[in-house]
Amino acid sequence: MNAKARRRVERLYQGKKYGVGLLFMLPWIIGFCLFVAIPIGWSLFMTFNKVQVSVGGFKYEWIGMRNYRDAFLKDNVFPIELITYFQEMLLMVPIIVIFALLISLMLNQKFPGRFIYRALFFLPVIFATGQVLSELFLQGAGDIPFLEQYNLLPIVEEYVGAQFAGTVMDILGKAVLILWYSGVQILIFIAGFQTISPTIYEAVRIDGASPWDSFWKITLPACVPFISLNVLYTIIDLFTFPLNPVLAHVRDNMFKVDTGYGYASALAWIYFAFIFVLIALVLWLFNRSLKTRRAHS
C-alpha cells in the first residue's frame, strides 16, 4: 500500500471517528444552540434596547449603553444591594467551605453509627433549595437560639466595626440555613479524602509525626483541589440562593412598565459579570498555589 492510499484510509478512519463522536455530542450541540446560545445573544441584544411588550411581540428601541448607565447612576437600590450581597457572599463562602471541611473531617473518622450521621448531614440538600427553604426562613426557623438570648450586636460592633456589623448579624441570623448549604460540599470533601492513600499516614506516623502535623502537612495540601472545587461550587450555588436580594430586584424590574425586560436583562448581565470576575479570581489564585506547590516538591 503506497503512502497516498494509506493517508486516504487514515482520513476515512478519522472521519468515521469524528462522526461517531459528533453523533454522541449532537443532542447537546443542538440544545446548546437552541436553548443557550440564541437566548444569550438575544438577551445581550435586549440590554442595549428599551424593550416594550406590544401585541405582536416585543418592540425594540435602541438606546445603546443607557441601561447599564442607569443601573449604576439612576437606580438607587441595585448598586447598594449588589455591594451588600457581595460582602455577604465573601463572608459566607469561607464559612460554608470551612464548616464543610471540619464536618467532613469528623465524618471521615471511623466510629460506630457514622452512616447515620452521614445521611443526616446530606439531608438538607433535599430541601435546602427552593420554596420550602424560604418558607422556613420566613417563619424564623433558621435562627440560632442563643442569638436572641444574648444581645450580641454590641459585641459584634466592637470587634468588626459598625459598618460591617449589620452584615455579620445578618449572616448570624441565617447561620443554620447557610450551614444547610454545605451538604454537597461535605460530600465532595468526603469523596476527596478517599483519594489520599492511607499508607502515607502510616508512613509519617512511623516517622513520628503527630496527627496534628499530618493534618497540616498531608490532609490539607492534598485537599487544595477539593477546596477550590468547593469554593467554586459554593459561589455558583449562592447565585440562586432563594433569599438573594439582587435576583429579587431583577425580577421586580422585569415587570415594571418604565424599566422592562431590557433593563432587567442589563442588571442580570452586570450581576453575572461580577460573579464571573470573582470565579476567575478564585480559579487563578488556586491555580497559582497549585503551581507553586508543584514547583516546591
Partner 1 sequence: MITAVKTEFERIGRSVRSVFWGRRAQKAKLLVIGRNVSDGLIAKLIIYLLLSIVAYLYLQPILYMVSTMFKTMSDLLDPTVKWIPREVTWENVTKAIKGLQYPEALRNTSLIAVTCSLVQVVVCAMTGYALARLSVPFKGLITALIILTFLIPPQVIIIPLYVIFSKMGLLNSLFVFLIPAIFGQGLKGALFILIFRQFFRSQPPSLEEAAKLDGASTARLFFGIMLPLARSACLVVFLFSFIWYWNMYYEPSMFLAKGFTPLSIRLDMLEEVLNPTLLGNTRTITNPITEGTKMAAAFLIILPPILIFMLLQRWFVSGIERTGIVE
Window 208 to 267, contacts with partner 1 (CB under 8 A): 211-212, 225-226, 229, 236, 239-240, 242, 247, 250-251, 254, 261, 264-265
Distance CA 22, CA 31 (A): 14
Q: How far is the CB of 263 from partner 1 (least distance, A)?
A: 12
| Nearest residue (CB) to partner 1, 166 versus 242 | 242
Q: How far is the CB of 161 from partner 1 (least distance, A)?
A: 28
Q: What is the dihedral of CA 282, 288, 294, 297, to 10 degrees?
A: -110
| Nearest residue (CB) to partner 1, 130 versus 161 | 130
Site stretch for partner 1 (CB under 8 A), options 63-71, 84-92, 130-138, 151-159: 130-138
Locate cell 442580570: which residue? Answer: 268
| Candidate residues 172, 187, 196, 282; the one interacting with partner 1 per rule CB under 8 A | 187
| Candidate residues 40, 65, 77, 285; the one interacting with partner 1 per rule CB under 8 A | 40
Site stretch for partner 1 (CB under 8 A), options 75-83, 89-97, 171-179, 286-294: 171-179
At 50 the three-state DSSP class reads strand
Q: Is 77 in the site for partner 1 (CB under 8 A)?
A: no
Q: Is 22 in the site for partner 1 (CB under 8 A)?
A: yes
| Candidate residues 63, 91, 95, 144; the one interacting with partner 1 per rule CB under 8 A | 144
| DSSP code string of 137-170 | HHTTTT--HHHHHTT-HHHHHHHH-HHHHHHHHH
Q: Please, are residues 61 and 264 in contact by the beta-carbon 8 Å criterion?
A: no
- Angstrom CA distances, 175 to 19, 47, 75, 123, 178, stand at 52, 36, 30, 17, 5
Q: Is 94 in the site for partner 1 (CB under 8 A)?
A: no
Q: Is 79 in the site for partner 1 (CB under 8 A)?
A: no
Q: Please, are residues 294 and 244 in contact by the beta-carbon 8 Å criterion?
A: no
Q: Is 203 in the site for partner 1 (CB under 8 A)?
A: no
Phi/psi at 227 (5° precision): -65, -45
Locate cell 439531608: which residue? Answer: 123
| Candidate residues 7, 10, 12, 14; the one interacting with partner 1 per rule CB under 8 A | 14
